[in-house]
Amino acid sequence: MMIFEKPSLRTRVTFETGMTQLGGHGIFMETLLGKRESTPDIARNLCRWVDLIMARTFAHKSVTDLAEHATVPVINALSDLEHPCQILADFLTILEHKRKLKGLKLVYVGDGNNVANSLLLAAATQGMHMTVACPQGYDPDKGVWSRAQALAARSKCKLAIVRDPREAVKGADVIYTDVWASMGQESERELRARIFAPYQVNQQLMALARRDAIFLHCLPAHRGDEVTDEVLDGPQSQVLDEAENRLHIQKAIMVTLYKHWQKNKAKYLKKKK
């Protein structure tokens, strides 16, 4: 079951195509969780009919509520706090082009949003150094930052938040950005455009990174805002490999979760009771 509170291109097509390629079937449902029916009731009903639930939501609590009350695996396909499926695809792309993760330098330029949050957790887990370049007041989530710092201490990598994007990208192996105003923030778009203007990823900024640095963007991109056409369509851009890898990584997620669920089903059902 694919639950969408937000519209989607990559998430919808890659999950549905992936499920079809695996021999299953994806059911699309566009709804606002908790409006017509409570999220716990939706979860309790769905798990009587389907083997997996994925949800693309506004509030992170909607995903956690589904997971708390469902008796089948629940996948976070995007919330206002994290975007884990995207980041797994990102790291697969980095691995393909750099042949390693540990010790690389990843620089995220822009709003400290759900993508930045999940990148921090993944980088810290894998021992990849990461710098977030963002304006004051637009830092990543404080709780996520604390979790990432604890993970980084174990993997011995360095995490940093800076204000100067030019200083941040020096020595970068990967430069990553996202839109300045996400879905639900449309009313802030003009204000954010002014605040984030110095954080545009353009050819001048890319030139300060390593010569073999790659550029990533979760898409959709607002061309001319957070990134220029020259970078997005340029030779360092790997955004289409990145988008393709959503399909491959999500198939792996679905297979892994379903196998784990089948192996431990009795234990989980007992715990839910």
* Catalytic residue IDs: 56, 83, 86, 178, 218, 246
Going from the C-alpha of 48 to that of each of 41, 63, 68, 70, 219, the distances in angstroms are 11, 18, 15, 9, 34
Q: Determine the Cα–Cα distance for residues 207 and 211; give it in Å rounded to an integer.
A: 7
Is residue 54 a contact partner of residue 74, using CB atoms and an 8 Å limit?
A: yes
Whether a cis peptide bond, with omega within 30° of 0, leads into 135 is no
Token duo for residue 28 = 């699309």
Is residue 24 a contact partner of residue 50, using CB atoms and an 8 Å limit?
A: no
SS3 state of residue 125: helix
